[in-house]
Amino acid sequence: MKILCIGRNYSEHAKELKNEIPTEPVVFMKPATAVTRTGKVFFYPEFTKNLHYEGELVLKISRNGKKIDEKFAKKYFEEITVGIDFTARDLQNKCKDKGLPWEIAKAFDGSAVVGNFVPIKELENAANINFSLLKNGEEVQNGFSKDMLFSFEKIVSYISNYFTLLKGDLIFTGTPAGVGEVKIDDVFEGLLEGKKVMECKIK
């Protein structure tokens, strides 16, 4: 199982980090060791002093595929959840300033929180999925899939040109505006169409 992530897929998030709006998907990866399952504790890493949360919709690939045509891409995912892409923002900025890769800021152990998956066909508005992230009971992020720069189908098709997608692979589809700092003892909850599918406590 591999984790593929899309950066800057909401224009307002790109603007809040002063990044350019991309013209094609920005892809990076996390290893399987990055997964933190819902309900598990996430331990604040000692190598960062500026950890940020990024709430996202997460797709689970349901069948193997490569070079998938966009018009057929919907056949390759059936379930979705809410996750968190934890980012060591200080390390990321340091690496960017030096023109270096920034996997150490994004792909470290436990950095991909994954909620419980829900069949997309069971959602009331599968064409425009709403999700939100709560921090200590207060909403800090709220997004709709229609606001993504690149649709689920575009993302799956694009990624499959470079990486063979295997059943069980996860795709983090990007975060809306509202990312912010994480503190020890914070509690995060991910809601999909108003129903909680993810919880993570910081220690």
Which residue, 152, 194, 183, is CA-closest to 6? 152
Range of the domain at 164: 3-202
pLDDT at 17 over 60: no
Number of domains in the chain: 1
d(CA 27, CA 8): 9
Instruction: Please write the tens of the pLDDT for every residue from 160-182.
Output: 999 999 999 999 999 999 999 99
pLDDT in tens, 121-166: 999 999 999 999 999 999 999 999 999 999 999 999 999 999 999 9
pLDDT: is 175 or 11 the higher one?
Answer: 175
pLDDT of residue 22: 83
- φ/ψ of residue 74, rounded to 5: -65, -20
Domain containing residue 98: CATH number:
3.90.850.10
Distance CA 170, CA 37 (A): 13
